[in-house]
Amino acid sequence: MEHGNTRLKPGEVDLGTTIMAVKFANGVIIGADSRTTTGSYIANRVTDKLTMVHDRIYCCRSGSAADTQAVADMVHYYLQLYTAQEGERPPVETAANLFRELCYTNKDGLSAGIIVAGWDKYKGPSVYTIPLGGSIHEQPFSIGGSGSTYIYGYCDANFRDDMTKEEAIKFTKNSIALAMSRDGSSGGVIRLAIIDESGVERIFVPGNQLPTFWEG
């Protein structure tokens, strides 16, 4: 699938997708659908697009599956080195800047849009976006992938800075479900990860339990 990106090579697997991260009072929620496409063929309907790069830091990947997996693996390696050298967990900002450096340095050869989210002792919860081209933006919430174009209005209208954990979970689930209902390259199930000081909690929402809305 192209989805505005013409740099995929023939047969290359594309994460036509919906990815999202939301910051709430004490943590972050990161979520994604599970559909991976090769052209119009669904290569995998239960992909886990939430990639752990350290204990309290996850990323969501959109673009080329090969490119984003390679970049995430490199960041994971560097963060392990950081922990060994510094004797502590890396800040989320450090992980995000590693993604930025790799994506910007190789911007002409990569198709990679990344959302990085997590918790650290310095800033608490934080969300960073690294879009195509390798810039970096810290935001209270971020959406990405082909399905995100359908839900900008919903997210702008419903996001609040003071959301509780339960409200943030509902907001994320509804947003991804709305994108999945409109975007042919998003679908399957919803996977969520809640990251805070205590650790990571994973939530799985099967296809028959997705939030439903009007469908004419």
Cβ pair 49, 32 in contact under 8 A: yes
Instruction: Give the separation between CA 205 and CA 175, rounded to whole angstroms.
Output: 13
CB neighbourhood size of 126 (10 A)? 23
Annotate 112-124 with DSSP letters as a single string. EEEEEEEEETTTE
Tell me which residue has tokens 């976006």.
129
Cβ pair 110, 64 in contact under 8 A: yes
Q: Mean pLDDT, consecutive 10-residue segments, the chain of 216 residues? A: 51 78 97 88 90 97 91 98 97 98 96 96 97 96 96 97 96 98 94 97 96 84
Cβ pair 29, 118 in contact under 8 A: no
- Beta strands 27-32 and 19-24 are antiparallel
Cβ pair 187, 45 in contact under 8 A: yes
pLDDT score recorded for residue 1: 38
Q: Where are the alpha helices (DSSP H) in the chain?
A: 65-86, 92-105, 152-158, 165-182
Instruction: Give the separation between CA 20 and CA 142, rounded to whole angstroms.
Output: 6
Q: For this structure, is 18 an active site residue?
A: no
Instruction: Give the separation between CA 83 and CA 212, rounded to whole angstroms.
Output: 43
pLDDT score recorded for residue 167: 97
CB neighbourhood size of 23 (10 A)? 23
pTM for the model stands at: 0.91
Tell me which residue has tokens 């673009």.
63
pLDDT score recorded for residue 5: 47
Cβ pair 52, 30 in contact under 8 A: no
Candidates 6, 17, 94, 172; catalytic one: 17
Instruction: Give the separation between CA 72 and CA 95, rounded to whole angstroms.
Output: 10
